Amino acid sequence: MIRDVEAESFAEAHGYGSMSSDAKTTLYPGSTNFTRLSEVLKLMILKTINGWSDKSFMELLHLLKNMLPEGNTLPNRNYETKMIVYYTGKF
């Protein structure tokens, strides 16, 4: 039981650290208005409102990743976006 609590606490701490990091990470070098967290949340809201499939959403992520300047931090997989959103507790 102690091991379970320790693992749970570690996962929660890791989630907070990831969320905090994503909130401070710019979407691309030189960006002052966009953070990784804010833009992933906006994209996930669009996905949800419009009922996009995971496949179509991943295609959009790939397109945007290629359109943004090199060195951008936009995830290119649906799983990564879900993990970012999961740790924020927004959905």
> At 35, phi and psi to the nearest 5?
-110, 160
Most distant CA pair in the chain, distance: 48
Integer Cα distance of 34 and 28 in angstroms: 8
Instruction: Compute CA distances 71 → 5, 14, 23, 74, 80, whole Å.
Output: 38, 24, 17, 9, 17
Q: Domain spans of the chain?
A: 2-88
Given a cut of 50, whether residue 38 has pLDDT beyond it is: yes
Q: Read off the pTM.
A: 0.72
Which is more confidently placed, 42 or 9? 42
Mapped onto helix, strand or coil, the DSSP state of residue 32 is coil
